[in-house]
Structure 1
Amino acid sequence: MSNATTTIESLQPSSAAKFRQRTLPILIFAAVIFAIPMTDPSRTMYSLMHQIGINIVFALSYNMILGKAGLLSFGHAVYFGLGGYFCMHVLGWIEDGVGPFGNYPVFFLPLLGFGGGALAGAVIGWPSCRKAGTTFAMISLGVAELIAAAGFMFDSLFGGEEGISGDRMNGPEMFGLSLGPIDEVYWFIAFWTVVGVIGMFAFTRTPLGKLSEATRDNPQRVQFIGYNPQQVRYLVFIIAGGFAGMAGGMAAVNYEIFTPESLSLIPSGFVLIMAYVGGITYFAGPIMGAILLTYMQSMMSDFTEAWLLYLGLMFVAIVMYAPRGIAGIVFGFVDGIRGGNAGAYFTAWIIRLVGCLLMLLGAIVLIEMSVRWSNGYGEVFEPFGLHLGHTNVLTWILIIVPLVAGGYILRRASREEEEGAA
């Protein structure tokens, strides 16, 4: 018995490891959030930070059903949108002084968004969570199309194509924030982002959170020990819908408008990519994915028309060569550096990085040259003063040589790794 106990205890992470892996990232995350206003950011930066905060909560809520419960959903934006729409109606009721909502603080609107998203998850999840796998994915796709179509049909609820707008400056102030200036909205977004992150992290430590992972991996064993996998999936689905609705409430206050597009497949697909690119097996993965993809969506589109193509290529590359996502790459690098042969690992990592950068260089030149040539407006890709047209020999040299060299380096590195493992 003592040997078994010793073995079990030895498998548990140490207190230092728990702090480093669980508590420290949240403390760093909160510190960064509170440090950003000290840098005197511009309005553009504030707007970007608001979008990132909303998408972090949204992506983490999606990972509750994908990464933890193993349910692939194509309609998670439904709960984001319905929670946001409910908050938009509440904004109108606050302005008009309707019933108990007349004195409701706008600052706490995400709580109502959580309730709206959880209610929608309870209603929609009751039939859909009876199935898993491909069947569940197809049901979620059908529900997404159904709700999105309803958004254009029921004007009294969704406002038609123009959506529903509101004013966030109504109602009583909380913590001295009128929510008018953009810097005050930042503190609103920061507060609820931290609350959402802590809340969803705490969920992963609960018995239900552990059961959701067990249900994902082996539902038969979960049923064997006396739990119903359908009920586990259903409860997780409700909570995930609630946090998605919280993100919708944050978006309602930030944008002061909601349209049926927020219910469509586009945000549902975007949140899937955020979670998967970040890494669904890590709690911090969706946070990393939300930061990267929100930046690409908001800023990279100013530099290139092909940012969606880059996003698609990155998603394919992650799925094929780094299935654990960005978080897997980062944590894998940290673990490798801390290993016994750190020098050799670092050298191998640098070689792979050089190969990836060479292939990226060739791909960028090819894509940007092709986009300008296909538009037919006489535009030419001119980085660093170079005239890279489709008839220029230098263009094709900068495409072919980096692609071939980068591919060769990565292939050679893979062979050496395979030989070393053998």
Structure 2
Amino acid sequence: MRTSTSLLLGGVALLAALPALLTAGLLNAAVQMLIAALFASAYGQLAGRAGMLSFGHAAYFGVGAFATVHAMDALNGAGLLPTPLMPLVGAAAGLGFGVVAGWFATQRSGTAFAMITLAIAELLHALAPQLKSLFGGESGISVMRTPAWGFNFGSTTQVYYLTLVWVLLSLALLYFHTRTSAGRLTLGLRENSHRLRFLGYDVHRLGVSAFAISGLFSGVAGALQVLANESANYVVFEAHVSASVVLNSYIGGVGVFLGPALGAALMSFFGYAVSDATQAWLLYQGVLFVLVMMFMPEGLVGLGGAAARRVKQLGASRAPPLLLLWLLAVLLLAAGAVFLVELLQRLCSQDYRALARAAAGWPPVTMFGQSWAAVGLATWIWPLGLLAGGGSLLAFAQRRLQMKEAQA
């Protein structure tokens, strides 16, 4: 418990110090990471804790965003709702829409529930371009942050701290909800809803409340997005927004409270850092999701627990070398896969094919700061050798693990 508290306080201190450590561009990326973390945490309360898989959670994020942008335009960030309190509008909109949508969606469970949530989000996405007075059409709606409480919110640092305060407050409230009786009953929805019904609880009402709470904090995330960008566009209702929060939550670990937040922050940073370097970054994200689902169902946060279990099982002296072997094998496999994907992506691109036709041959490919012959043996030996080496090392580590488990 003390270790968890120390790590949590250290993480908060690091987040508070980021403006002094990062450039303005990286600080903007940090703002987006915080918003994505809150959105994923709100989704995790529904999918991870209540066991209800939603495929259309962009609807509540978007409703919160557009409610906030209209409130900022109407109130001008003054009066009872100055700029720092604008996320309350997103929270109210997300909660209200979550109650209505949740009442319908939770009439069913499983696949039918997931399809209903997807239909609701797609309905909003289809209607938004037609309702230009509400959603602003293709150009969206733009507003400006107005000064309040002695802050002008014109700098990235002030926007970052405003976002950080709201994200930490929201996460604290979400955690507090998990410790209440209602939060524990929500967990029962995932484990055995039939038993809850047998005990006399209104399972439908519990499902609606879980859905509404998730919608509330998704609306806060949408409001923070508006405060950060000073605009809202109906693209927030698109399917990729809903897909992103599902991927991020499960990659991080939807069964752990901060797992979705960690996954969202890491994948947001990954997109920011890698999207300019390669056109295949979405492929890497998808492959990572598949691998996590196949081999790490607890998500990335489960890696620490798995390593601790191995140390406890094998001993502090024998476990670290084996874990290092696993890490080296994974790095070799990842390096070989990235090399091969980047090479094939360049060879299959339209620009390269046009260049090959003009040269009547196979011109070299530039990757990682070097030129590689497209038909050269060495070019293909590198990725295949890395993959073979990583696979062999992984198989060796697996055999060693089995031997040590037998000896333990």
TM-score, normalising length: structure 1:
0.89
> Once the two structures are superposed, what CA deviation does each residue of 1:48-99 show, in whole Å capped at 9, x if it has no partner?
111011011100000011110111111111000000100000010123x9xx
C-alpha distance in 2, partners of 1:120/1:224? 29
C-alpha distance in 2, partners of 1:221/1:274? 31
Unpaired segments of 5 or more residues in structure 1? Answer: 1-16
2:393 is matched with which residue: 402, 409, 413?
Answer: 409
TM-fit CA distance, 1:20: 3.3
Q: Is residue 382 of structure 1 aligned with residue 367 of structure 2?
A: yes
Matched residue of 2:300: which SS? helix
Instruction: Check conservation: 1:87, 1:110, Cα contact below 8 A.
Output: yes
What is aligned with 2:356?
Answer: none
C-alpha distance in 1, partners of 2:44/2:373? 43
Unpaired segments of 5 or more residues in structure 2? Answer: 353-363
Q: Is residue 30 of structure 1 aligned with residue 12 of structure 2?
A: yes
What is aligned with 1:288?
Answer: 262
TM-fit CA distance, 1:344: 1.8
C-alpha change, 1:209 and 1:389, in structure 2 (3 Å) is farther
Instruction: Check conservation: 1:369, 1:389, Cα contact below 8 A.
Output: no
Letter in 2 for 1:231: R
What is aligned with 1:70?
Answer: 51
- Number of matched residues? 395
Letter in 2 for 1:417: L
What is aligned with 2:108?
Answer: 131
Letter in 2 for 1:150: L
TM-fit CA distance, 1:416: 4.1
What is aligned with 2:134?
Answer: 157
Pairing of 1:183-194 with structure 2 (within 5 A): 183-194=157-168
Instruction: Check conservation: 1:368, 1:381, Cα contact below 8 A.
Output: no
C-alpha change, 1:103 and 1:226, in structure 2 (3 Å) is closer
C-alpha distance in 2, partners of 1:340/1:395? 41
Letter in 2 for 1:210: R
C-alpha distance in 1, partners of 2:332/2:155? 44
TM-score, normalising length: structure 2:
0.92
What is aligned with 1:278?
Answer: 252
Instruction: Check conservation: 1:83, 1:117, Cα contact below 8 A.
Output: yes
C-alpha distance in 1, partners of 2:188/2:115? 23
What is aligned with 1:4?
Answer: none
Pairing of 1:43-58 with structure 2 (within 5 A): 43-58=24-39
C-alpha distance in 1, partners of 2:310/2:394? 18
Instruction: Check conservation: 1:279, 1:326, Cα contact below 8 A.
Output: yes
C-alpha distance in 1, partners of 2:198/2:325? 48
C-alpha change, 1:416 and 1:335, in structure 2 (3 Å) is closer
Greater Cα offset, 192-201 or 412-421? 412-421
Percent identical:
32
Letter in 2 for 1:264: E
Q: Is residue 20 of structure 1 aligned with residue 3 of structure 2?
A: yes
2:383 is matched with which residue: 381, 388, 399?
Answer: 399
Instruction: Check conservation: 2:46, 2:52, Cα contact below 8 A.
Output: yes
> Once the two structures are superposed, what CA deviation does each residue of 1:165-184 show, in whole Å capped at 9, x if it has no partner?
111125xx12x321111111
Instruction: Check conservation: 1:365, 1:395, Cα contact below 8 A.
Output: no
C-alpha distance in 2, partners of 1:117/1:60? 15
Instruction: Check conservation: 1:370, 1:390, Cα contact below 8 A.
Output: no
Letter in 2 for 1:382: M
Pairing of 1:19-418 with structure 2 (within 5 A): 19-21=2-4, 23-39=5-21, 41-95=22-76, 102-169=79-146, 173-174=148-149, 176-337=150-311, 341-378=315-352, 380-383=365-368, 385=370, 387-418=371-402
TM-fit CA distance, 1:383: 2.1
Letter in 1 for 2:213: I
TM-fit CA distance, 1:334: 4.1
C-alpha distance in 2, partners of 1:179/1:263? 27
Instruction: Check conservation: 2:314, 2:404, Cα contact below 8 A.
Output: no
